[in-house]
Structure 1
Amino acid sequence: MSDAKVRRLVVGVTGATGATYAVHLLRALQGVPDVESHLVVSPAGVLNIKYELGLTRQEVHALADKVYSFRDVGATLASGGFATMGMVVVPCSMRTLAAVAHGLSDNLVTRAADVTLKERRRLVMLVRETPFNLAHLRNMTAVTEMGGIIFPPLPAFYHHPATIDEMVQHTVARVLELFDITVPGPHWEGTASAGR
């Protein structure tokens, strides 16, 4: 892949439930030839991947083009001089949301998110918690005010999903559309075709 044509997307995986969204997103990116995925997984993210999906750290790392250590705050992702199209945190824990909302760059996920915001690049956070308390809501507001996008991965039912995978694929396709990346998946066709 030529560096002149490559589009880099940073993917942070943290310790919230919903590891399947991260794996589906990384697999979808493998089918996009001009996009390079740059992956950082937190220790809690590794635990969730193993618990929820039965996958090892190495199996998930193999889905990305580049992988970085969670503690390596000196990695290229920690600098605004490293050009990316943005970052998605999938899933995003409330701890990670709070750290980003308050500018606490204490690991590579939160530092890369901070860099994304300061460089005015797109940051999408798939927050996973319910119900929300006031601190969660205020942190989401703070990130939104800084230009981030809060994207709770709520399933849609208008495309009549038959499986959990179909619901996850729909969410992943919608997230990637925010970065002008098109992948296969159901799309809203409007109500005119619903009765046919």
Structure 2
Amino acid sequence: MAYLKREKAISLAWTGASGAPYGIKLLECLLLADYQVFLMVSSAARVVLATEHELQLSANPEKAKQQLLEYFAKQKSDIQGELIVLGKDEWFSPPASGSAAPKQMVICPCSTGSLAAIATGMSNNLLERAADVVLKERGQLILVPRETPFSAIHLEHMLSLTRNGATIMPAAPGFYHNPKSIEDLVHFMVSRILDHLGIAHALTNRWGYGNEASHDIDN
């Protein structure tokens, strides 16, 4: 496959943590924003997708791409960007090299296993290598872990990654916007990710713009 370098490009990875709806919505938003998205999906992530989103995603990258585009078409999403699904051993793809990789990458959801591998520089597959590349090239790496409680090992890995320039954004949606549905909670988390990526959106109302509940506070 020949890859054409685009100005708006990003790497996105889904791993085996709970939180598939976050990853699906984030992908949709990135494509709607006309990004070229290099998507990496772990085998455990496919299990989570089937369990949480009833999406039986193929292990074949091209089939998986078609499945996802068909899914968004059914949602009537006016996709503008370009989706490229990559296998775990596609070492000649752009995310594998600092000379070609996008400067931004999000792992959403991020399992503690992937967290550990990235924190220790293991790079045993393309997903881990892509994250390693973004770190070494001083790009923007966002990880969205979904686990509770966190052990000291998990926290140490998060601290190590933060010290090395990554942003840790646990899947912990707020409630001050008075969510009425699971979709509202998903939108909250995805909106925070998009904010950090510098991508405009209208997924949620913003704090301080007249949408939060007002309360009298006695001094």
- Output the TM-score relative to the length of structure 1: 0.91
In structure 2, give the amino acid aligned to 1:156: G
- Aligned residue for 1:48, secondary structure, equals helix
Residue identity in the other structure for 1:190 = G
Give the match for residue 25 of structure 1.
Answer: 26
Aligned to 2:198: 180
Displacement of 1:100? 0.5
Q: How does 1:1-196 map to 2 (within 5 A)?
A: 6-33=7-34, 35-57=35-57, 58=64, 59-60=67-68, 65-190=83-208, 194-195=213-214
Q: Which runs of 5+ in 1 are unaligned?
A: none
Q: Structure 1 14/4 Cα, relative in aligned 2: closer, same or farther at 3 Å?
A: closer
Between the two proteins, the alignment pairs up a number of residues equal to 193
The alpha carbon displacement at 1:150 in A equals 0.5
Larger Rg: 2
CA RMSD between the two structures:
2.0
Structure 2 stretches lacking a partner, 5+ long? 58-63, 73-81
Aligned equivalents of 2:103 and 2:201: distance in 1? 16
Deviations 1:4-25 (A, max 9, x none): 7631110010001001110010
CA–CA separation in structure 2 for the residues paired with 1:36 and 1:182: 16
CA contact (8 A) 2:6 2:36 kept: no
Amino acid at match of 2:130: A
Q: Distance in 2 between matches of 1:19 and 1:60?
A: 13
Q: State, as a whole percentage, how many aligned pairs show the same letter.
A: 35
- Tell me if structure 2 keeps the 8 A contact 1:40–1:68: yes
